[in-house]
Amino acid sequence: MIKSYVIIAFRSIRRNLSYAFLNVFGLTLGIAACLVIFLIVRNELSYDNYAKADRIYRVTLNAIDFNSNVSLAIAPKMRIDFPELEQVTQVMYSKEVMVKVGNNRFRDNDFAFADEHFISVFNFNWIAGDPKTALNEPNAIVLTETLSHKYFGDANPMGRVINIENQINAKVTGVIKDLPGNRSLPLQMIVSLETIKSQIKNNMDNFWNIGGGFFTFILLPPNSSIKNIQSKVPAFLRKNWSIEKDVRLPMQPIKDIHFDQRYINNVITPTSKSTYYALFGIAMLIIITACINFINLATAQAIKRSKEVGVRKVLGAMRSQLITQFMGETTVLVLIALILGVSTAALFLTQAGAWLNINIDARQLQEPLVIGIIAGLTIVIILLSGLYPSFVLSAFQPVSSLKSGSAGGFTRGFTLRKGLVVSQFAISQILIVGTLVVANQMDYFENQDLGFQKDAIISIYVPNEAKSEVLRQQLTSTPGVQQISFSSGAPSYANNATSFSAPAYGLTKDDVTNVKFVDENYTDMFGLKMLAGEKIRKVPATDTIQNFVVNETLVHKLGIMDPRKAVGVHLTVNGRDATIMGVVQDFQEESKHKKIRACVLQYRAQNFYRACIKIQPSAITKTIDNIGKSWSKLFPDNLFQYQFLDEHIASFYAQEQKVYTAFKLFSGIAILIGCLGLYGLIAFAASQRTKEVGIRKVLGAPIMSIVALFSKEFILLITVAFFIAGPIGYYAMHSWLQNYAYHINIGAGIFVISIAASVIIAAITISYQAIKAALVNPVKSLRSE
Amino acid sequence: MIKITNLEKFYRTEEVETIALNKLSIEVKTGEFVAIMGPSGCGKSTLLNILGMLDDPDEGSYVFNGIEVAHFTERKRADLRKHNIGFVFQSFNLIDELTVFENVELPLIYTGVPSAERVKRVEEVLDKMQIMHRRNHYPQQLSGGQQQRVAIARAVVNKPKLILADEPTGNLDSSNGNDVMELLTDLNEQGTTIIMVTHSEHDARYSHRIIRLLDGQSVVENIMV
């Protein structure tokens, strides 16, 4: 019996190859997309799943804002005042360093100095070296497997020497397996903190001396509560630094780091969990769409199958036997799609890592959990897509299905199909709205309302400020260089922050302001708009008077609404008296996730670490090449590196970019699957109405009116779908936008585009079949009836 | 074997009620070969459907082999049907996806006959119908006459007590038609009761008795000599 079901399943697939293809293709895409989404979501939601993750907390600072970085002073004091903690450890992280191995020079990412306790908190997988002692001595370095291969090939790396930034010679004391990609503190090289003990002595007792990349972690003993630690923090602050109020040290669970968007100075920009729930939702929608296709195509074929059902019933088939038979056919199709889908996912995953900037690979498909998910998904798909058609088909009455070749339940099925098509259109439209909103927001992030120029500007590092003047002269004479400005960083680069107050304007308590050290060309080159007073000009190094240009936000904090009235006002910045010499219009100093903060600009040559160069757009490659040559002559011990400003700005939104890419891809897939179903449905409708079309043509109907006959109904369905999709899309995307301090407004345009897009998509899908049906010679279509 | 009394069947649409069978009473004895004739719309097919337990009557009684089946559930009717009745249709109604062998095997599958036994019986009947050489062909590869032989093979493979034939020669030329009628006659002579709906006086002559219907009522019965 089962054999007969399988045989007939395959034969009926062969006979209706185009429907089977549409079904299997749709399901294949759906299954592949779901698996990829599942792995992406799982990767993100399992950030920082270290073995002891439940007991690891990051010590953070909440004074004015939430800062991931804390002073190096905290860890040693915590060891004394919190003896109940199993470990306290601190690291100093750098995004990249220059490494010299023998005569080879490299620039590599994810470097840290860490104390000897670090290893026992995070439990890496050791390939060589002793975890107990690897970081105990000065000048010891632990490498990942990948870097070890890069530097030493297959040779034993242990005991070999690596030079860091021309300053430190470190001996390899350990090799660890590469960290998974989902770590908030990615690491490739760890040098013992002992190595730089003398350099960081000053940092070790000042609570407010907070450097970028300074992280402190604690490891709680098993079965104890963080609340007990947290409650002792105020006394701890009072005892060691006489800090009485307005400062907290929140102990942040390590698994929250990736999702807590309040924090600044993270290595990896935190992301919102809801994004991944949304992605998961898309996966559901994709599967539903694929199942709807299945139901639509299967019930549409009901007429064809009704004779078979009738015959089988006459010959004594029970309804349950027919249901089993049709479920069997569904199972065969789903299993084919499953095999293809898993293969597609595996193929895609080999590329997806780089493309979506996420660390997943095809091997994860073999994990028991993933296999379990695949099995579950298969069963759900079989039931979702098989049950309804099986019940409908098996319900046909033999008398009517044999007599007329039509099926009793068919009219009802058609109404249901309309409902399903409406849901498919609604799903497409929601996804179109979503994609458009994300696209507009991405454009807004990177291009709109920045308040400064970013095009064709590169930023390079100046290793030695004393050589700035020589560098400037050389660059000025380089063809293709249009403008040069030295500063602590471009408008969008990480800021130094300091405290300021203005008692005369009611600001008695210290507030925080960003500080940028900029030269006299900065304002013009970046096109900053002065609202009042003068722009920054060159000041001799001996000049001790502090003159600042401030932004509008700072002026507003003083309660001054007219920028002109702010010029000449005195402030206290970093404890010293300063005068406002000019007011600049607000510009985007950080990402648009956050509100613009107060900012002051000051001329101070010793802090000009970076040169920004505006290049003639027509000769970018050649000019950068020449800049690199001049630079390398001046700084022979260093590697030339540059970054385009617009790329740097885009990097703020790497997470959003990732989501956007995923959104585009998966919405596209969902829409495509919907189209497949629609195509099948209209093809079927056309074949059913051949006779009607023939009669209409004999009576003189023009081709266009036949095409309209097929299109009219779908236009109506699209409209109905829009009334469902519009509000849902608006609500969902409106809530998403609330994640950002600066965001677009969802205008009517987006909805107009989305309904137009679905009409166009439907029209393209329908037109081929409709025109084909309309062009058939009526003699032929009537005869074939 | 069959006794129907005052059988009524109506077809209702929103506006009209059509009477298909009007207090019809007929009796068919075991071993008889009965032809039912009448103009289009006289209720022949309705009667055959009810006799075949594919449809149920609105009023009246239908006793099959001593059992009242007029108000049986679908499940019980199906059960009774698959063990006792074989069908032959004008349009053959073979399943296109199945081979000749598989089409004939189908009723045996549904009555739960074990596989080895099925092969034996199917081969037996195919042999008898002289279409053994076509066993692995699909219906669309056969001529009309051959398809009807397959359909008859399928109808008799379960050794039913009753065969209901709905214009079995309607889609065939006269030579193939005669062959089919000979087959039915043979079956009848071996003891199978046959009830056949037909428009053809020629075919009707193969039967023992002709029941002529008009407007859902039996008007004449001709006994053949």
Which ipTM did the prediction report?
0.81
The answer, yes or no, to whether residue A784 has pLDDT greater than 50, is: no
> CB B106 to CB A402 under 8 A?
no
Query: Cα(A554)–Cα(A500) distance, rounded to whole angstroms?
Result: 10
The whole-number pLDDT of residue B223 equals 78
**Are residues A610 and A459 in contact, defined by beta-carbon separation less than 8 angstroms?**
yes
Query: Cα(A679)–Cα(A471) distance, rounded to whole angstroms?
Result: 64
The whole-number pLDDT of residue A406 equals 47
Query: Cα(A232)–Cα(A226) distance, rounded to whole angstroms?
Result: 10
**What pTM value is reported for the model?**
0.78
The whole-number pLDDT of residue A407 equals 44
Residue B78 corresponds to which tokens in the numbers above? 């199906």
* Amino acid letter, residue B114: P
> CB A312 to CB B109 under 8 A?
no
**Are residues A289 and A420 in contact, defined by beta-carbon separation less than 8 angstroms?**
no
> CB B109 to CB A11 under 8 A?
no
Best B84, B93, B163 member to test A by mutation, with max A CBs in 10 Å, is B93
Read off the pLDDT band of A67 (50, 70, 90): confident
> CB B110 to CB A8 under 8 A?
no
Instruction: Tell me the CA distances in angstroms from A483 to A53, A244, A584, A615, one per residue in order.
Output: 50, 49, 20, 7
Per mean pLDDT, which of A370-374, A656-660, B93-97 is the most reliable?
A370-374
Residue % of chain A over a pLDDT of 90? 37
Long-range Cβ contacts of A354-357 (<8 Å, 24+ apart): A355/A661, A356/A40, A356/A658, A356/A661, A356/A662, A357/A654, A357/A657, A357/A658
Higher pLDDT, B119 or A6: B119
**Are residues A195 and A113 in contact, defined by beta-carbon separation less than 8 angstroms?**
yes
Best A315, A319, A404 member to test B by mutation, with max B CBs in 10 Å, is A315
Query: Cα(A528)–Cα(A531) distance, rounded to whole angstroms?
Result: 10
DSSP alpha helices (H): ranges in A16-165?
A: 17-45, 74-81, 118-122, 145-152
Chain B residues touching chain A at CB-CB below 8 Å:
45, 49, 52, 54-55, 75, 78-79, 81-83, 87, 89, 93-98, 102, 106-107, 109-111, 154
Residues of A in contact with B83 (CB under 8 A): 316
The answer, yes or no, to whether residue A159 has pLDDT greater than 90, is: yes
A647 CB neighbour count, 10 Å cutoff = 12
Count how many residues are written for chain B: 225
Residue A33 distance to chain B (closest CA, Å) = 34
**Are residues B215 and B10 in contact, defined by beta-carbon separation less than 8 angstroms?**
no
The answer, yes or no, to whether residue B162 has pLDDT greater than 70, is: yes
DSSP alpha helices (H): ranges in A477-557?
A: 522-525, 552-557
Query: Cα(A578)–Cα(A548) distance, rounded to whole angstroms?
Result: 7
Mean pLDDT of A72-101: 93
Per mean pLDDT, which of A548-552, A740-744, A766-770, B81-85 is the most reliable?
A548-552
B7 CB neighbour count, 10 Å cutoff = 25
A748 CB neighbour count, 10 Å cutoff = 7
Residues of A in contact with B97 (CB under 8 A): 8, 11-12, 15, 308
The whole-number pLDDT of residue A242 equals 85
Residues of B in contact with A397 (CB under 8 A): 54
* Pairing mode, strands B209-214 and B33-37: parallel
Q: Which of B94, B95, B93, B64 is nearest to B77 (CA)?
A: B64
> CB B45 to CB A11 under 8 A?
no
Read off the pLDDT band of B225 (50, 70, 90): low
Query: Cα(B194)–Cα(A260) distance, rounded to whole angstroms?
Result: 83
Query: Cα(A489)–Cα(A587) distance, rounded to whole angstroms?
Result: 14
Residue B98 distance to chain A (closest CA, Å) = 7
Q: Which residues does residue B21 pair with via DSSP β-bridges, in sequence order? A: B9
Tell me the average pLDDT of chain A: 86
Contacts of B3 (CB under 8 A, 6+ apart): B26, B27, B28, B61, B62, B63
**Are residues A334 and A385 in contact, defined by beta-carbon separation less than 8 angstroms?**
yes
Out of A11, A15, A314, name the one closest to residue B54 (CB). Answer: A314
The whole-number pLDDT of residue A414 equals 59
**Are residues B118 and B194 in contact, defined by beta-carbon separation less than 8 angstroms?**
no
